[in-house]
Chains A and B, each alone.
Chain A
Amino acid sequence: MKNQTLKSLTNAHAWIGLIISFVLFIVFIAGSISLFRENIETWEKVSLIGEHSPHVSQVSYDTVLAKLDEKYDIDTHHIFYLYQPTERNPFLQVYFAAELDEPHPETGEDHQDMYLLLNPVSGDIIADANNFQFANFVYHLHYDLGIGRIGLYFVGIITLFFFVALISGVVIHWRKLFKNFYQYRLGANKDKWLDAHNLIGTMGLPFHIMYAFTGLVFNLVIIYQISYAVLLFQGDQGKVLQAAGFNEPHIEEVDIRMPMQGIDTLYTKAMNELGNVTLRRMMIEHFGDESAVLVFMAKSNDEFSNDVEVRYAIKDHKQVYITKDNYDNNLRGGLATIASLHFGDFAGYGMRIAFFILGLATAYIIITGNLMWISKRAKQKKQSKRNLAFVTRLTSGAFIGCMLAIALGAVAAKLIPLDTLGRMTTIHSIVYVSFFVCTLISLFIKQQDVFCNYLLKFSGLVYAFAVLLNLPNYLNYGDILSTYVISDLIIVDIMFFTIAALCWYSAQKFEKRAEQLQQELNAMDSEVALNS
């Protein structure tokens, strides 16, 4: 390869890396934590689980739905979701839209989204699940930065550039890929950063490529969907979805009221029909109407990433649709595989821990990339010192700010009582404000080493404090909680403690550097004093 080509690619790699680094760092940190989303959900609401112990294993769907139908004016046009109780979540979760007599004061819509935790036998409302969604919020930060559809596409474009950075990195490093595979020089910082960047980048390459690709499919598939619709299906989105296997039968609404009963019988029937599966969710289309259809969506336990589904008409219990092989469509099968690869949900906790470590390692690659860019530019005489200081300070503020913001969010999720009004809004504000404040303050701090040292130590302490706040739950409910719930708590505590330790370890590096710098300055001062 020509030197000029290599130079162009190296410049592009560094430039892209720097531009996308701030968002990509958030995506990877939030994504790594989100690998344990279910565990964090339990961790957040453990007091609720403890307070309502002991839990019964049976569920009476018919009783629960009759009670809900009586209490709420459930919107027929929206899908009604049911999540059965599990070992880690003993409540029945329902998600539906309730019709309102007057438009909602905040949203202006004629319905309100309800997300409730219910007693699985009596149907009594335990809590509003919208109030404890910290795990879900971190997950949103991962894929749309918590700002909805715009964020989704924005993260998609960042992921595309991440893919570009990966490919360009491989091309640049190709000649030395095997020769320098284990090279790690302990000399100058720049060599250390470069070697760490290359070493982790090379060893984690399959993981990075998988994440870049699958992430792109999730966030930007709409582009190819529209292209196909326009070019192959004469602009008909319906035909594209039909070809893509989204063609489950839908029965038209008849506008005749009917109670939603017989769900318990259908549940038994569906489980017998589907065999060895893990039920993901149940849905009711046209809730309360004679045309209502009950859907059971599950994942096969015998095969890798195989989605299965069965649908029954509630009116006469007739089976209207069944698939035992990814909707009998290769595209949907492919999408299910892509999802399994991305979430690492196919090989137990070992796989998730490996993904977590690789996720944090990728965050380290992002940091080293920025540090190398700064170090290289600092040596260039033409480089504007103001711009360089800006990038340096932004790197410290945004990266450490992200770590601190999530830590503060976790502490808030533990400190604010679950039934507090506007609890999630407060947690969202704490996370966003702390991130922006850190970034902003960093832009005005000259002594970056000292700043990073203290901010990292503070972040580490906040993560450790989140762990500490969870300790009373072991003491209060340790003997009544199931082993699943206890293991969830332990997993989240270990994860936060690991992040705390990493923050502290990194802070010590900055402390050392700040001390060295101070010693050098002192030596220079004494030299000046002696000379004068």
Chain B
Amino acid sequence: MWPKTILGFIFGLLISVSIALNTNLILPFAEDTRLLIGLILGFPIWASTMVWTYAFETALKASKYLLLVLLPSALLNVFLMV
């Protein structure tokens, strides 16, 4: 259980930050509204990612799927920020 916990915790944080950042960069709202949306989305995404990690049989299997979510989102971050 510990490998899945650590994996879910770290990937959950990275995915939530990445998605919140994308919403911040994409949404056509005022800055304060975008920050609020990011804050509201952040924790539920983090917790949901952890739940998703636990749903897999092994941490290794979970890490493949988590990477499949994180990589495109992170690439979009880079694309939007550069």
Within 8 A of A (CB), among B57-82: 57, 77, 81
How many residues on chain A are close to B (CB under 8 Å)?
35
* A334-B54 contact given A160-B47, A167-B47, A232-B21, CB 8 Å threshold: no
Q: Is the CB of B36 within 8 A of A15?
A: no
- Give Cα distance in the complex from A220 to B12, angstroms: 14
- Residues of chain A within 8 A of B54, CB atoms compared: 8-9, 12, 164, 168
Within 8 A of B (CB), among A132-166: 160, 163-164, 166
| Stretch with Cβ within 8 A of B (4 or more), from A28-36, A54-62, A221-229 | A221-229
Q: Is the CB of B24 within 8 A of A232?
A: yes
CB of B60 to closest CB in A, whole Å = 14
Q: Is the CB of B38 within 8 A of A12?
A: no
- Identify which of B1, B4, B36, B77 contacts A330 (C-beta below 8 A): B36
- Give Cα distance in the complex from A450 to B39, angstroms: 48
CB of B49 to closest CB in A, whole Å = 9
Within 8 A of A (CB), among B12-47: 13, 17, 20-21, 24, 30-33, 35-36, 38-40, 42-44, 46-47
- Residues of chain A within 8 A of B47, CB atoms compared: 160, 163-164, 166-167, 212
CB of B62 to closest CB in A, whole Å = 10
Verify if A4 is at the interface (C-beta below 8 Å from B): yes
Q: Is the CB of B40 within 8 A of A9?
A: no
Q: Is the CB of B30 within 8 A of A330?
A: yes
**Interface residues of chain A: helix, strand, loop or mixed (majority):** helix
- Residues of chain A within 8 A of B51, CB atoms compared: 9, 12, 164, 167-168, 171
Q: Is the CB of A213 within 8 A of B56?
A: no
- Give Cα distance in the complex from A11 to B56, angstroms: 11
Verify if A243 is at the interface (C-beta below 8 Å from B): yes
* A224-B39 contact given A329-B32, A330-B32, A330-B33, CB 8 Å threshold: yes
**Proximity string of chain A (232-252) to chain B, C-beta cutoff 8 Å, 1 when within and 0 when not:** 100000000001110000000
- Residues of chain B within 8 A of A9, CB atoms compared: 51, 54-55
CB of A201 to closest CB in B, whole Å = 15
- Identify which of A217, A329, A333 contacts B39 (C-beta below 8 A): A217
Verify if A231 is at the interface (C-beta below 8 Å from B): yes
- Give Cα distance in the complex from A74 to B7, angstroms: 51
* A12-B32 contact given A160-B46, A167-B48, A231-B21, CB 8 Å threshold: no
Verify if A5 is at the interface (C-beta below 8 Å from B): yes
- Name the residue of chain B whose CB is nearest to the CB of A334: B36
How many residues on chain B are close to A (CB under 8 Å)?
31
Verify if A371 is at the interface (C-beta below 8 Å from B): no
CB of A242 to closest CB in B, whole Å = 9
Q: Is the CB of B32 within 8 A of A245?
A: yes
- Name the residue of chain B whose CB is nearest to the CB of A6: B55
- Give Cα distance in the complex from A171 to B39, angstroms: 24
- Identify which of B13, B50, B57 contacts A223 (C-beta below 8 A): B13
- Give Cα distance in the complex from A10 to B49, angstroms: 16
- Identify which of B30, B38, B56 contacts A228 (C-beta below 8 A): B38
Q: Is the CB of A243 within 8 A of B31?
A: yes
CB of A156 to closest CB in B, whole Å = 10
- Identify which of A4, A160, A228 contacts B43 (C-beta below 8 A): A160
- Give Cα distance in the complex from A224 to B51, angstroms: 20
Q: Is the CB of B20 within 8 A of A224?
A: yes
Q: Is the CB of B50 within 8 A of A228?
A: no
- Give Cα distance in the complex from A167 to B43, angstroms: 12
CB of A221 to closest CB in B, whole Å = 7
- Name the residue of chain A whose CB is nearest to the CB of B77: A231
- Name the residue of chain A whose CB is nearest to the CB of B54: A12
- Give Cα distance in the complex from A228 to B18, angstroms: 10
- Give Cα distance in the complex from A15 to B50, angstroms: 13
- Residues of chain A within 8 A of B20, CB atoms compared: 224, 227
- Give Cα distance in the complex from A157 to B15, angstroms: 17
- Identify which of A12, A213, A224 contacts B44 (C-beta below 8 A): A213
- Give Cα distance in the complex from A194 to B17, angstroms: 36
Q: Jot down 30 A-B pairs with beta carbons below 8 A, ordered by A.
A: A5-B55, A8-B54, A8-B56, A9-B54, A9-B55, A12-B54, A163-B44, A163-B47, A168-B51, A171-B51, A212-B47, A213-B43, A213-B44, A217-B39, A221-B39, A223-B13, A224-B20, A227-B20, A227-B21, A228-B24, A228-B38, A231-B17, A232-B24, A243-B32, A329-B32, A330-B32, A330-B33, A330-B36, A331-B32, A334-B40
New A-B contacts (6) at CB < 8 Å, excluding given A8-B55, A12-B4, A232-B21: A8-B57, A9-B55, A167-B47, A227-B21, A228-B21, A243-B31
10 closest A-B pairs by CB: A12-B54, A163-B47, A334-B36, A330-B32, A331-B32, A216-B43, A331-B36, A227-B17, A330-B33, A167-B51
- B residues near A, CB below 8 A? 1, 4, 8, 13, 17, 20-21, 24, 30-33, 35-36, 38-40, 42-44, 46-48, 50-51, 54-57, 77, 81
